[in-house]
Chains A and B, each alone.
Chain A
Amino acid sequence: MDANMNPTMLLFTILLLSVMGFIMGRKRSYAVANQVGGMSNLHSRPTYYGSLTALWCAIPTLIIFSFWLLFESRIITDLVIATLPDQLQNLPADRLNLIVNDIRNMVNGNIVSSEPNPSMLAAAEHYRKLNSLSHASLTVIVIAVAIGAILVIQKTIHPKLRARNHVEQVIKYILIACSTIAIFTTIGIVLSVLYEAIRFFRIVPLSEFLTGLEWSPQMAIRADQVGSSGSFGVIPVFMGTMLISAIAMCVSVPIGLMSAIYLSEYANRTFRSVAKPLLEILAGIPTVVYGFFAALTVAPMIRNSGGVLGLDVSSESALAAGLVMGIMIIPFVSSLSDDVINAVPQSLRDGAYALGATQSETIRHVVIPAALPGIVGSVLLAVSRAIGETMIVVMAAGMSANLTLNPLKTVTTVTVQIVALLVGDQEFDSPKTLAAFALGLMLFVVTLILNVIALVVVRKYREQYE
C-alpha cells in the first residue's frame, strides 16, 4: 500500500473499510446466531450488527482525519519557522508571513514573489518532508484505528449484544451534532459581528450612532489626507430603510392579501392550481433581476410621469425601489395568508352562511378575524424580508443619506451602506469599515425582533384551532 496517500484517497479508504466492516459485522452476527441455535436468539437484526461495526470504524477515523487536517498546516508551519535562520525569524510578523507564503508557494510549485535564497529553499524542502511525513503517519494511524475497530467489534458481537440500541443511540448523537452545527454557526456569526461592532462603538459612541442625524462615513485614512472626519448617525440610513419598506408593504399587503382571499375563497380549484404556483414564481426571481427592473424600467417611468405632473423626481427614488420590492414580497404575503385562511375551519364559514351571511360578510366578519393572527405573522415576516433586502435598493435607491420622508427623493438604506462600506480596498480598523458591522448588528437585531414577534403570533394562532 502506498503509505503517502492524499487525503481524498484516504477518505475513500475509510469509506471502503466501513463498508467492509458492515459486511463483516453482519456475517459475524449470522455466525454467532447459528452457534446458539438460530436468528431468533439474536438481540437485534443482523443489519444492526453490521451498522454498529461500520459506525465504530468510520466515526473515530473521521474525527482523527478532520482534526489532523485542521491543525496539520499550522503545526508544520511553526516547525518550519523554528528552523529558519535567526535574522528571518526576528522579522516583523507581516514580513514573516510573506516569507512563509513564499515557502508554501515553492512547495506547491507556484510562482514566488521574491528571489529564492538558500535558507528559504532549505525551508521549503523541510516543509515538503514534514508534509509527506504527516500524511504518511495520518494514513497509518487512520487505517490502524479502522481495522482495530472492526476487529474489536467482531470480537464483541454476541447474541446478547444490544446492537440496535447502540446504533440508534449513535444516530441520535449524530443528529444532535448536525443541529448544533446550525446553532453554533448562528452564534458564531452573531459573535463576530458583535465583536467588530464593539470595536466600532469604542471609536464612535453608541449614543451618537443611534441618535445622530447625519451619515457621511467618508473620512481621512492617512494623516496627510484631506477629508471629512466622518459622521456616523444612523437615523437617516434607518429612515431610508423604513421608508422603502413602508412603500413596499403598502404595495404588497393589499395586493397579497386580496389575492390570497380570492385564491382561497372565490377561485375554483383549476384556477387556484394554476395561479398559486405562478404567484410563487415571483418569489423565485433573483433579486438582482428585480434590481435592474427597478433601475432601468420603473425608476425612469416614475421620473417621466412625475415630470408630466410637474414634480421633481430624482432618477433614483425611494418610490421605485419600494414599488419593486413590494412586488417581490407579494408572494410572501399571499402564500402564507392563503395558507392561514385555508386553515380556518369550514365549520366557521358554515356557521356564518347558516345565519344568512353573504360570502363577503362571511369573509370580512368571520374568516379574516379568525385568520388575523396568521396574517399578521405573514406580514411581519414580509417586513423583515423587506428590511434585509439588498440588491434592489443597491441598484435602485441610491447612495446619499437624505433624512426625508419624500418618496420621490433619493434615499439610502442600511443594506446599501453596508455594501458601500465594504466594497473596494478598505482598512479593517477604520471606523468607516467597522461601521458596516454596527449597521449589520442593528439590522440583525431589528429583523430578529420582528421574526420573534411573527413566530409568537403565528404560534398563538395555531394553538387556537388545532
Chain B
Amino acid sequence: MSAEKKSIYPDKPELQFENKRKFTNKREPLVDRENRKTVGQPTVENPRMSCLNVNVYYGDKQAIHDVTLDIGRNEVIAMIGPSGCGKSTFLRCLNRMNDTIDFCRLTGTILLDGKNIYDKDVDVVPLRAQVGMVFQKPNPFPKSIYENVAYGPKIHGLVQNRAETDEIVETSLRKAGLWEEVKDRLNQPGTSLSGGQQQRLCIARTIAVGPEVILMDEPCSALDPIATARIEDLIDELRENFSIAIVTHSMQQASRVSQRTAYFHLGDLIEVGSTDQVFLNPLHQLTEDYVTGRFG
C-alpha cells in the first residue's frame, strides 16, 4: 500500500493532504501523536479549582483519562475538542452534575478553594450554589422572568423579604445585561423571551445565587451570531467577579473569550496553555491538527 494518501482532488495542489502519520519537524518539543500525556502548563498559581488525576467512567467505559487541570481566579478557560472527547463530561464533574447519572463513577480529586468536593461530608446543594452552570440550550423554568431569577436565592435562603429579592433580581439581571430589556415585563413567562435573552436569563439566574465559578456548556450553540456576540461580551465582563469554564465547539469563540485553553481528545487532556499559545503555536500535533481545521 502506498504511504502517500491519495487526494480526492488530484488536480488541486492546495487541497493535497500530507500524510499525517509522519512527524513534522517544524517545532520543538516534538510530540508523538500517540502520546496522550498532557503537554503545556495545566496548573496555575493560586487556583480557584484544581483537578488532580480525574478519571470518569460511564459503566465500564472510561470517558476521562487521568486529567489534571486548574481553573484560575478571574479567568475564562475554554475547553475545546472534537465531539465525544469528554469536555462536557469533565465540566459536569466540576459541580457534581454527573451525580444524577446512576452509572457514572469518578476517581481522583477536585478541589474547590482547597476542599475536595467529592469528600463524603460535602453536600451538593451548597456546592452547586458555589459552582453554577449554564447549559447548551436555554432552559428557563416555566415561571415568570422575576421568579426565574429569584428562585435560586429563595431556595438557598439568601433573601428574607420582597425588597431584598427585588434587589438581587435587578442586580443579577443588570450583570447579565438583560435588565433594560425586561424591566417592564418581569411577570411574563421566561419562555416568552428570545433565545439569546433566555440564555442571558439563565446566566442571571446562575449569578443570583452568588457563585464563585460558572460553568458554561456550549452556551451559544443554539444562538444566532448577534446573540452570541452579546453573550461573549457578557462573559468577558463576568470575568471580573467569577472564574468561568466554558466548553465550546467554536474555536473562534474560544480564542475571543478565553485566557487559557484546554484541548481534549478522546477523553485525554492533550494540551493546556494560554489561548494565544494554543491557537498560534500549539505544542502537540493533535492540537495543531484540530485548531488548524484538519479534523474535528
Which residue of A is nearest B132, CB measured?
Answer: A354
Q: Are A464 and B152 interface neighbours, CB within 8 A?
A: no
| Nearest CB in chain B: distance from A384 CB, A | 26
Given the interface pairs A268-B102, A347-B135, A464-B191, the reply to whether A356 lies near B125 with Cβ below 8 Å is yes
Given A348-B139, A369-B141, 14 more A-B residue pairs with CB atoms under 8 Å apart are A347-B139, A348-B142, A350-B97, A350-B100, A350-B133, A350-B139, A351-B135, A351-B141, A355-B206, A357-B151, A366-B141, A369-B143, A370-B142, A464-B191
Interface residue? A361 (CB, 8 A): yes
Complex CA distance for A369 and B141, rounded to whole angstroms: 9
Interface residue? B87 (CB, 8 A): no
Interface residue? A353 (CB, 8 A): yes
Interface residue? B129 (CB, 8 A): yes
Given the interface pairs A347-B135, A347-B137, A464-B191, the reply to whether A354 lies near B97 with Cβ below 8 Å is yes
Q: Are B135 and A350 interface neighbours, CB within 8 A?
A: yes
Which residue of A is nearest B202, CB measured?
Answer: A351
Interface residue? B205 (CB, 8 A): yes
Interface residue? B165 (CB, 8 A): no
Contacts of A188 in B (CB 8 A): none
Q: Are B142 and A356 interface neighbours, CB within 8 A?
A: no
- Which of A348, A353, A464 has a CB less than 8 Å from the CB of B141? A348
Q: Are B205 and A355 interface neighbours, CB within 8 A?
A: yes
| Nearest CB in chain B: distance from A97 CB, A | 66
- Which of A347, A348, A354, A357 has a CB less than 8 Å from the CB of B155? A357
| Nearest CB in chain A: distance from B246 CB, A | 15
| Nearest CB in chain B: distance from A380 CB, A | 20
- Which of B100, B135, B139, B156 has a CB less than 8 Å from the CB of A356? B156
| Nearest CB in chain A: distance from B134 CB, A | 8
Interface residue? A358 (CB, 8 A): yes
Q: Are B102 and A355 interface neighbours, CB within 8 A?
A: no
* 13 cross-chain CB contacts under 8 A: A345-B139, A349-B100, A350-B139, A352-B141, A353-B97, A354-B133, A355-B151, A356-B152, A361-B155, A365-B141, A366-B142, A369-B141, A369-B142
Q: Are A355 and B129 interface neighbours, CB within 8 A?
A: yes
Complex CA distance for A268 and B100, rounded to whole angstroms: 12
| Nearest CB in chain A: distance from B90 CB, A | 16
Residue among A345, A355, A361, A369 with the highest chain B CB neighbour number at 10 A: A355
> Which of B104-152 touch A at CB < 8 Å?
124-129, 132-135, 137, 139-143, 151-152
**Contact residue range for chain A?**
20 to 34
Complex CA distance for A357 and B132, rounded to whole angstroms: 11
Contacts of B202 in A (CB 8 A): 351
| Nearest CB in chain B: distance from A406 CB, A | 40
A-B pairs, top 3 by smallest CB distance, nearest first, are A354-B133, A356-B128, A347-B139
| Nearest CB in chain B: distance from A266 CB, A | 12
Contacts of A345 in B (CB 8 A): 139
Which residue of A is nearest B137, CB measured?
Answer: A347
| Nearest CB in chain A: distance from B107 CB, A | 22
| Nearest CB in chain A: distance from B247 CB, A | 14
Interface residue? B178 (CB, 8 A): no
Which residue of A is nearest B133, CB measured?
Answer: A354
Complex CA distance for A350 and B134, rounded to whole angstroms: 10
For the complex, count residues of B whose C-beta is within 8 A of A: 29
| Nearest CB in chain A: distance from B96 CB, A | 9
Interface string of A58-92 (1 = CB under 8 A from B): 00000000000000000000000000000000000
Complex CA distance for A356 and B212, rounded to whole angstroms: 14
Interface residue? B55 (CB, 8 A): no
Interface residue? B95 (CB, 8 A): yes
Q: Are B132 and A355 interface neighbours, CB within 8 A?
A: yes
Contacts of B143 in A (CB 8 A): 369
Interface residue? B245 (CB, 8 A): no
Complex CA distance for A351 and B205, rounded to whole angstroms: 10
Given the interface pairs A268-B102, A365-B151, A464-B191, the reply to whether A354 lies near B141 with Cβ below 8 Å is no
Complex CA distance for A365 and B209, rounded to whole angstroms: 17
Contacts of A347 in B (CB 8 A): 135, 137, 139
Which residue of B is nearest A352, CB measured?
Answer: B141
Complex CA distance for A355 and B152, rounded to whole angstroms: 6
Q: Are A355 and B139 interface neighbours, CB within 8 A?
A: no
Complex CA distance for A345 and B97, rounded to whole angstroms: 16
| Nearest CB in chain B: distance from A265 CB, A | 11
Complex CA distance for A353 and B95, rounded to whole angstroms: 10
Which residue of B is nearest A358, CB measured?
Answer: B125
Q: Are A351 and B129 interface neighbours, CB within 8 A?
A: no
Interface string of B87-105 (1 = CB under 8 A from A): 0000000010100101000
Residue among A348, A350, A366 with the highest chain B CB neighbour number at 10 A: A350
Q: Are B124 and A356 interface neighbours, CB within 8 A?
A: yes
Complex CA distance for A268 and B152, rounded to whole angstroms: 28
Complex CA distance for A141 and B95, rounded to whole angstroms: 82
Contacts of A353 in B (CB 8 A): 97, 100, 128
Complex CA distance for A365 and B144, rounded to whole angstroms: 13
Residue among A356, A357, A366 with the highest chain B CB neighbour number at 10 A: A356
Complex CA distance for A236 and B82, rounded to whole angstroms: 71
> Which of B169-191 touch A at CB < 8 Å?
191
> Which of A365-385 touch B at CB < 8 Å?
365-366, 369-370
Residue among A268, A352, A361 with the highest chain B CB neighbour number at 10 A: A352
| Nearest CB in chain A: distance from B251 CB, A | 25
Q: Are A356 and B141 interface neighbours, CB within 8 A?
A: no
- Which of A268, A352, A354 has a CB less than 8 Å from the CB of B95? A354
Contacts of B102 in A (CB 8 A): 268
Contacts of B137 in A (CB 8 A): 347
Complex CA distance for A440 and B44, rounded to whole angstroms: 79
Given the interface pairs A361-B155, A365-B151, A464-B191, the reply to whether A354 lies near B135 with Cβ below 8 Å is yes
Which residue of B is nearest A345, CB measured?
Answer: B139
Which residue of B is nearest A464, CB measured?
Answer: B191
Given the interface pairs A268-B102, A348-B139, A350-B135, the reply to whether A356 lies near B191 with Cβ below 8 Å is no
Complex CA distance for A358 and B100, rounded to whole angstroms: 11
Which residue of A is nearest B96, CB measured?
Answer: A353
Contacts of A350 in B (CB 8 A): 97, 100, 133, 135, 139
Given the interface pairs A347-B137, A350-B139, A369-B142, the reply to whether A355 lies near B97 with Cβ below 8 Å is no
Q: Are B97 and A356 interface neighbours, CB within 8 A?
A: no
Residue among A345, A352, A354, A356 with the highest chain B CB neighbour number at 10 A: A354
| Nearest CB in chain A: distance from B273 CB, A | 29
Which residue of A is nearest B148, CB measured?
Answer: A351
Complex CA distance for A355 and B155, rounded to whole angstroms: 9
Complex CA distance for A464 and B202, rounded to whole angstroms: 18
Q: Are B128 and A354 interface neighbours, CB within 8 A?
A: yes
Which residue of B is nearest A361, CB measured?
Answer: B155
